[in-house]
Chain A
Amino acid sequence: MTQIDPEQIKVILATDCGSTTTKAILIEYVDGEYRQTQRGEAPTTVERPFADVTMGVVNSVTEIGELAGRRLVGDDGRIISPATDTEGCDIYISTSSAGGGLQMMVAGVIAEMTAASAKRAALGAGSIVMDVIAANDGRRPHDQIQRIRDLRPDMILISGGTDGGTTDKVVQIAELVAPAKPQPRFGSDYEMPIIYAGNKEAREAISDVFDEGGFDLQIVDNLRPVLERENLSPARDKIHDIFLEHVMAQAPGYDKLMGWTGAPIMPTPGAVGDILQTVARLQGINVVGVDIGGATTDVFSVFNETFNRTVSANLGMSYSISNVCAEATMPNVLRWVPFDMDERELRNHVKNKMIRPTTIPQTKEALMFEQAVAREALRLAYKQHKEFATTLKGVQQQRTVGDTFSQQTGGMTIVDNMKLDLLVASGGVLSHAPRMHQTAMLLIDAFEPEGVTALAKDSIFMMPHLGVLASVHPKAAEQVFDRDCLVYLGTCVCAKGTPKPSKPCFKYQLSGDCNESGEIAGGDLKLIEMAPDARATIVITPARGIDLGEGPGKKIEKEVRGGTVGLILDGRGRPLALPEERAACQKTVQGWLDALDVYAEEKEPAAV
């Protein structure tokens, strides 16, 4: 791959090869800025009978070419590069999650320390972590070996011990993996890649353990050289390298596709993480992104430039919908539904959705139920994310006598809803909700943002493409992300605390593109329409004990942006509490839905 000067890049072609669909977008430099101009999609052709991923790529790119009036695929079936006025692109980039994406197993000495760091490295690189093996995971060695043998990961990441720390325990972990001889998913002649990112003094012993053959041992810097610091980049980079060299090389057609791309192919979730990190860094904001799928829900967060990603493997809207109902419990799901529903009928509905994942709700009641399930799936996934995205454990603390009564343990979550600036949604149930008000309401109910938070959705699931683009042209990626990728739903202003029902919660005054003032009572929601391009300054004076970002009872002033929904003022308090009694709960939820006009008769074309 030759390095291209970003200034010379004017036409960018990007594809995301998913398990079922290959999505392509065209980004062009128009009127001094980068804009996404066309999109096309075609079925992915990684499976038999085609067994060549490039066929789907060419099909989707051809569609874009026809729409754009630009010839992108040459007579030889390759993508034309570099661009001229009428044909080709300056750079072609791609992501891939075809064939289940990148699947890894990680291991470390202590589950909450080096093993957790290894998991963070693997998830951050865009993989699915199939299991975490640790010395204290409560399993006997023979159980661990059996588990490793049963799994068929694409690669294994082994960490453990600080530099100069334990050697015995790391070698013990390696000695579990070596005799288990895990088989890779692809290719019989494929040597299982092992990335060792642990105590540097154990490298020789680790090499001896894997010396027998059948493994491709790669050694990188320790991802936890001292317990006080993580060094995940070398491990993540090595995962990407092996993903390209081994995993992708085994998948049909990827060797050809790799020859076409101007930047390394990235796993789709890894690319989503990269674009969120880039945007957070360039705009100096904290971001949370969510992608809710049929089987899994991915949550990404960037707080104070620390990136975390979690995959909730059993929380989804079709294959995993039964698990969501089981884990959240039906009463918790039904609390979001403002009318009585027959539980038996609902269970049938859930099972139907599980075995027919592509069906969509046909009635308003079915839609409301499905969105109630989505709220719980998102809530649980976010809860798991908060538990995973923590400060490092095992770190020495510095105290003063003033800390006598305020000692806190390590491993506290770094996810702080009050500091969250932007919440981005993607995934069918969020992106394709009939009204964007529903998407906004789902996000607010599930994530419970506090203070002032902008809400947006990924219009056409463009974030993976932009993630790869960020690695070659961050500025273009940010511009397209802000202007075309995100559809801003608006801004929500949410009070933290326990406001008294019907008593003043906070006063607000808007000035700028929208001029309005008023008061929000405890338990109330209010929607103020603001056009997508509108900007206004809001001054909020909270009641005593209510916090909107500056501390309880303290006035704040912030700029808010409009959106397809508008400005949402939320006086329900945090944490969000619904009445226990069913009838009261229904009445309360109906009041909230009415306040935001969530399920009103269609007034606008269905969002895409």
Chain B
Amino acid sequence: MRYAVGLLLALAVAWTNSSRAATISLAPPTDVTSEDVPNDIGTQVLVEWTASVDDHDVPEGEPRALLGYSIYRKVAQTGDGLESIGEAATNASEIGFPANFDFQDVEPIGSVSYGRTQFVDENVEAGTTYQYAVAATGLPDAFSPLALATELVTPEMEYFNIGKLWFLIIMLTISLVIIAFVWYAKRGGEIKVRPIAGLEAVTEAVGRATEMGKPVLFVPGILDINDIQTVAGITVLANVAKTAAQYDAQLKVPTARSLVMTTARETVEAAYLGEGRPDAYNEDNIYYLTDEQFGYTAGVQGVMVREEPAACFYMGAFYAESLILAETANSIGAIQIAGTAMPSQLPFFVAACDYTLIGEEFFAASAYLSHDPEQLGSLKGQDVGKIIAAALLVVGCVLATLAVTTNWRGAKIAQIYISDNILGDEGLVPNADKVAEIDAELETQAQQPHGGGGDS
């Protein structure tokens, strides 16, 4: 809070500078350094300094002379002048800041409040050389002389973010696991996928429609083909269409997007061709209703009430229309199978439908239905990745608990290692400062006398 107030005051100072003459009355910060921030693409420079002697605590009620620091930057390579807002035309060709630097005309590239000794400039270009300067600021229009950075800095792009090495290791592990499972599946190895009731029931639902002499209705959601749920829904549609072709059942697909209609038509036609029933394919059964959410819902409801399909599939992205559709189909006695990754709609589908594919099951449908080794291997590999993530969560929770409740040095170090190195960006080597902090803390605790005892 203290820093925020300071920052506001510093900004106020910067604003008032534009209208009043600056006075050099504050002591400047010292030891200004600038260095390239490591492990980035060359767009950040870290500027550090030692606080001005005027940056100290004051008794309560007294005004503070130093309110913050302003940071200035100059492109050293071209010497085009200070690269700040309202750039001043001062010694354009000179490298470095002029002795008669005009605080009124030059906007700093950033400012921080008193007490702070760091600033990260995130607006630099890789390969350009910069010089930085810092000035202390106070009220009214008080400045210190500019304190120049001792060295120029040229930020550079790095190809590897060493701090994220753990991320690379985990990603490579999961990738290797996926490749291994794909290889295993391609060689005829058995990859077991647990039965997914909703997909097993596809034949049952289409069979029911055939026995009852009624159509099958497939609703591919209300979003366009660029939504991953719609794509997953179309995958299931291929299987439903294949079964409908085998059973010679009538399949109807009303869509809310024209591109979805086109995709659905091609998918269904391919399925009928694959089953040797091109004659049974009728493209008029796959049609566009409207893009409007409730217009589409009303249209599908109308189809349900008029034609009383015996099986309804809802596979894709759904919003408020989910329960309306499911309840309508339930009232006409249809078997309903839903699949969506919309968490808010899942409870409605579960309650109103016979079978529901939940989130991941929906996306696994393609591998499950096709039995394609590559897809099954990928599915299994992703599962291993999830197991690793879950294991890390459990281990992290246990270590965090132990770190807080005990004085076990190993748990405390492991906790910061997981949070800072594995999940953070500290790289492979643990932060020596933090380890030292832990050691110091433990040593302090060890030296403190135990409470609760004593003479009675």
User: Main SS of the interface on chain B?
Assistant: helix
Chain A, residues 351-381, CB within 8 Å of chain B (1/0): the string is 0000000000000000000000000000000
Contact in complex: A169, B355 (CB < 8 Å): no
A409 to B205, CA, bound (A): 11
Which chain A positions have C-beta within 8 A of B346?
A: 404
Which segment, of B133-141, B193-201, B419-427, faces chain A?
A: B193-201
Q: Which residue in chain A gives the minimum CB-CB distance to B207? A: A110
Q: A110-B211, A396-B335 are in contact. Are A136 and B355 (CB under 8 A)?
A: no
Contact in complex: A166, B201 (CB < 8 Å): no
Contact in complex: A409, B211 (CB < 8 Å): no
Chain A, residues 4-41, CB within 8 Å of chain B (1/0): the string is 00000000000000000000000000000000000000
Option from B211, B213, B246, B351 in Cβ contact (under 8 Å) with A399: B351
Contact in complex: B358, A404 (CB < 8 Å): yes
A341 → chain B closest CB, angstroms: 30
Contact in complex: A396, B333 (CB < 8 Å): yes
Which segment, of A148-156, A157-165, A493-501, A559-567, faces chain B?
A: A157-165
Q: A109-B211, A166-B212 are in contact. Are A411 and B204 (CB under 8 A)?
A: yes
The reply on B24 being an interface residue by CB < 8 A is no
The reply on B350 being an interface residue by CB < 8 A is yes
Which chain B positions have C-beta within 8 A of A410?
A: 201, 204
The reply on A515 being an interface residue by CB < 8 A is no
Q: A135-B248, A165-B211, A227-B211 are in contact. Are A403 and B201 (CB under 8 A)?
A: no
Option from B204, B351, B356 in Cβ contact (under 8 Å) with A112: B204
Contact in complex: A136, B201 (CB < 8 Å): no
Chain B, residues 152-194, CB within 8 Å of chain A (1/0): the string is 0000000000000000000000000000000000000000000
A454 → chain B closest CB, angstroms: 34
Q: Which residue in chain A gives the minimum CB-CB distance to B334? A: A396
Chain A, residues 82-124, CB within 8 Å of chain B (1/0): the string is 0000000000000000000000000001101110000000000
Chain B, residues 442-453, CB within 8 Å of chain A (1/0): the string is 000000000000
How many chain B residues touch A (Cβ–Cβ < 8 Å)? 31
The reply on B241 being an interface residue by CB < 8 A is no
The reply on A268 being an interface residue by CB < 8 A is no
Contact in complex: B335, A394 (CB < 8 Å): yes
Option from B198, B246, B354 in Cβ contact (under 8 Å) with A136: B246
Contact in complex: B350, A227 (CB < 8 Å): no
A20 to B150, CA, bound (A): 113
Chain A, residues 375-404, CB within 8 Å of chain B (1/0): the string is 000000000000000000110110111011
A171 → chain B closest CB, angstroms: 11
Contact in complex: A113, B208 (CB < 8 Å): yes
A404 to B355, CA, bound (A): 9
How many chain A residues touch B (Cβ–Cβ < 8 Å)? 34
Chain A, residues 112-142, CB within 8 Å of chain B (1/0): the string is 1110000000000000000000011010000
B307 → chain A closest CB, angstroms: 14
Contact in complex: B198, A407 (CB < 8 Å): yes
Q: Which residue in chain A gives the minimum CB-CB distance to B213? A: A166
The reply on A417 being an interface residue by CB < 8 A is no
Chain B, residues 204-229, CB within 8 Å of chain A (1/0): the string is 11011011111000000000000000
A404 to B358, CA, bound (A): 8
Q: Which residue in chain B gives the minimum CB-CB distance to A109? A: B211
Option from A112, A114, A399, A409 in Cβ contact (under 8 Å) with B350: A399
B217 → chain A closest CB, angstroms: 15
Which chain A positions have C-beta within 8 A of B213?
A: 161, 164-169
Query: What 9 A-B pairs come out closest when comparing CB atoms?
Result: A166-B213, A394-B208, A407-B197, A397-B354, A110-B207, A165-B212, A165-B213, A409-B200, A409-B197
**Which residues of B come within 8 Å of A, CB atoms?**
195, 197-198, 200-201, 203-205, 207-208, 210-214, 246-248, 333-335, 346-347, 350-356, 358
Known: A393-B204, A399-B351, A409-B200. 16 other contacts (CB 8 A): A109-B211, A110-B247, A113-B211, A114-B211, A161-B213, A164-B213, A165-B211, A165-B214, A168-B213, A169-B213, A169-B248, A396-B354, A400-B350, A404-B346, A404-B347, A410-B204
**Cβ contacts A to B, 17 pairs, < 8 Å:** A109-B211, A110-B210, A110-B211, A113-B207, A135-B248, A136-B246, A138-B246, A161-B213, A162-B211, A165-B211, A168-B213, A227-B211, A399-B350, A399-B351, A400-B350, A401-B347, A409-B200
